[in-house]
Structure 1
């Protein structure tokens, strides 16, 4: 392919980007698909049976100041039994609710937010004590997460002034356990997991007389997949629930299992194209490129512009790319990222492992979830070999302390923030199999079928697990109606609320979203460059279950 044809193709791609605004907020305003929409269904039966109530129920009256208002509320911990596809109780699931005291006439229209984390195999306490609950960890860095003595403090920024909060721990996490005689793998699938959660949501809404309340689902990481599938299954359940809004935190909608499960293919140019803006952001933060006279936004925009105008056609050309053009593209990649030209040439204009390659000259690797954090490269373990229980020891201890002091509850098993072997657990998980649609396609179906369904997508710009560029691209392909989809970036990693500023901004946006308001466009966030922390190799303190 000639240089002229490459430039012409790049110009076409770049022109398309400019027409659409080259940003997710603009692209998400594309017209929704026309015509009647018949959403796809779960491979499991429609839910017609709610979760059963077990004897484990605890409650306490509390008060606090949230969103500037003094609120009296009830904290509750309840154990529910979820049924397998035959209608037989198969597992217990625990639900922690925070319900503001309000007049009965106001309660009916008060929003309810159901929240859960990911993994799969993670409980909901990361969101609860990291950002959204009425109490939170005093700090939420990796050292705090591992510190059994870390304190809980009042969380005055939470949205309990605007909505009731219901945290659901997935089967086999938290205090929940598989029932005797049941197969532990019963709910270890995308659709089986949603089947269990649907029963719990229906039971809660029915028991509290809230079937007519605005219902919001907030899922983090794998929980974003769960939120989409749960929206689908609630709309087909008996009783039927039409979700008002979905909040995707560090979304992972296109994830469909570990790479070892996937068919091996040649390298995907799209993946590298989407990742370039993330590499530029991380390079800016760690000082590989100019971060004094050039802002973070300028560095990212330069990478996005080059990705569409020159990088994309070069990768698509593959071995048809003339050597002179290859050298020119590699030189520009070096300028945008600070990595030497020969690194890009050796990798065929790609990085195989950004976390290990970006700072290798400093003998550092990027942390598993937040690219601002680093660890010593020498001897760095594979992620599946890390000590996840130690990484979450502080969060787990704080959760158990909160339960014991709030209710108090006795006779409960140890709390599982994350299952003991998350990577082994995931190998037993059944992801979507063809011809069933993935979560991204199901979300598009649901947005088209339910014109009032709203969507808030939140993204940490230094997320090394669910990167910014892939989220940008994914939601540029989603067609929605005007004003229904909001996309906000934060200075953060996978847990985008780990910094005080990020947490406050995230909760402000969440409050606006559940209140039916327009989420304010904030522009690209600003950041202060510099390494936050370096830990010895293998000292991972953040769990996959986030």
Structure 2
């Protein structure tokens, strides 16, 4: 079945007003003088007005560079970010810092797809095709309840190392989080916002970054207290999700996403009425009979194997023969290819509702992810066009959409020995933050059809000992990894986060 994105529904979601850009080439008067051959940070300021959440908002957009410096004041890296601040100078208004993931992705997905004042309109098809890609006023932006800052980490977007500084020094879980924490402190200093309620949020690896970041912001003596963390399509425990022989956890954590996908494509045996019910059936089986069977390994009895095989086939929509040949352990890549093999198509990873045609139907895994190549061109074009034309940001640099970093350091600050090498989980940072900050709350948004960061994996990571479940809100969407590509889910996501920020 092919996913369609309704332009008619999108039109209803958008309530545009005239947007006026002024002072496009204006630079910050207080920009520091160039030093040691390094030019002053490149910054543009423009002024706008539009309707968000049903409210007319006048705001100032400041887009450009902030320098991270060493102890002697020497610039080391330029962080590119875009800040949208409601006019009027309310210092007690909430401020939310947002970024995407990768690692190595710019913030254009959340910026141009979900919460920025403009958003790109995708074609009414499963493929974004070729330009033009219209930009429209985004009525679902959160600017009615919070100011917004979209951040591109070093090596992504227009952010870069300066001079002889090696950008790889910023490419690691802890190093990356420290650089974003440094940027946030600088932004609070420059804008006088230390007393504002503060929220941090990201998508995909951006959720990993958020939790490593809360450790950098609140884990020392120079604290930046945070009111809330927004986790969209969460991945916190990389050890539990590592697809290596001998690790049984990925099969358990992926099974509910296989069930919801089979339900969506009408492949699930004896399906329940709703996707939520399908998910719950799979959760119960995954942590019960299925987990027990996997842990027993080759000591599993023939009778128990037959029972598990039959239920696993029913939930996943695969044949019992295929499940048996896979030794009851179905990898995601095989699932993408096998589920709809009889229809001659593969399914997506970021969003399993998407389908694609491979070179042939005989392979073990898909050629590519149809749920990514269906959207990447539109977002890249939208970000470049919007930053350069409407925000008046002048630069010769190319915007790095994704893939701008390599050799990521997965060791966590404070961990030593083999633990830091083989089991990377930032979840303990979050449980510690919840215990030590009684005002902190967590928003978790997950798509039923997301295989990049399966919803059961997020639930598992945040249900360990030390977490306070009363302060974690879970929200689910009839979508995949980037739930905002579907207008109905964008509206729901925006309303859910708007309520989360407003309930202080």
TM range (shorter): 0.7 to 0.9
* Pick aligned residue for 1:91 from 69, 77, 89: 77
Give the match for residue 440 of structure 2: 453
Judge conservation of contact 2:217–2:224 (CA < 8 Å) in 1.
yes
* Pick aligned residue for 2:403 from 419, 429, 433: 419
Give the match for residue 41 of structure 2: 55
Q: Give distance in 2, aligned partners of 1:220 and 1:229.
A: 14
Q: Give distance in 2, aligned partners of 1:316 and 1:98.
A: 51
* Pick aligned residue for 2:60 from 58, 65, 74: 74
Give the match for residue 464 of structure 1: 451
Pairwise CA distance, 1:305: 2.5
Judge conservation of contact 1:257–1:431 (CA < 8 Å) in 2.
no
Give the match for residue 537 of structure 1: none
After TM superposition, the structure 1 = structure 2 runs for residues 499-538 of structure 1, keeping only pairs within 5 Å, are 499-516=486-503
* Pick aligned residue for 2:144 from 139, 143, 161: 161
Between 1 and 2, higher relative CO (CA 8 Å, sep ≥ 6) is seen in 1
Pairwise CA distance, 1:483: 3.8
Length-normalised TM-score, structure 2: 0.83
Judge conservation of contact 2:359–2:367 (CA < 8 Å) in 1.
no
Q: CA distance change for structure 1 residues 284 and 137 in 2, over 3 Å: closer, same or farther? A: same
1:383-423 deviation per Cα after TM superposition (whole angstroms, max 9, x unaligned)? 79999899633212211211222232223412121235xxx
Judge conservation of contact 1:53–1:79 (CA < 8 Å) in 2.
no
Give the match for residue 359 of structure 1: 340
Unaligned runs of 5+ in 2: 1-37
Q: Give distance in 2, aligned partners of 1:505 and 1:256.
A: 31
Q: CA distance change for structure 1 residues 144 and 342 in 2, over 3 Å: closer, same or farther? A: closer
Judge conservation of contact 2:122–2:375 (CA < 8 Å) in 1.
no
Judge conservation of contact 2:76–2:162 (CA < 8 Å) in 1.
yes
Give the match for residue 272 of structure 1: 251
Give the match for residue 197 of structure 1: 180
Judge conservation of contact 2:109–2:379 (CA < 8 Å) in 1.
yes
Q: Give distance in 1, aligned partners of 2:86 and 2:488.
A: 26
Q: CA distance change for structure 1 residues 478 and 117 in 2, over 3 Å: closer, same or farther? A: farther
Q: Give distance in 1, aligned partners of 2:378 and 2:284.
A: 43
**Count of aligned positions:** 454
Q: Give distance in 1, aligned partners of 2:307 and 2:485.
A: 39
Pairwise CA distance, 1:313: 1.7
Q: CA distance change for structure 1 residues 467 and 112 in 2, over 3 Å: closer, same or farther? A: same
Unaligned runs of 5+ in 1: 1-51, 518-546
1:91-115 deviation per Cα after TM superposition (whole angstroms, max 9, x unaligned)? 211110110113x4xx222110000
Judge conservation of contact 1:363–1:378 (CA < 8 Å) in 2.
no
Judge conservation of contact 2:447–2:480 (CA < 8 Å) in 1.
yes
Pairwise CA distance, 1:71: 0.6
Pairwise CA distance, 1:477: 1.9
Q: Give distance in 1, aligned partners of 2:371 and 2:338.
A: 23
Give the match for residue 323 of structure 2: 344
Length-normalised TM-score, structure 1: 0.77
1:228-285 deviation per Cα after TM superposition (whole angstroms, max 9, x unaligned)? 11111112567531111100110111136996xx9x551x333222222111111111
SS of 2:160's partner is: coil
Q: CA distance change for structure 1 residues 84 and 395 in 2, over 3 Å: closer, same or farther? A: farther
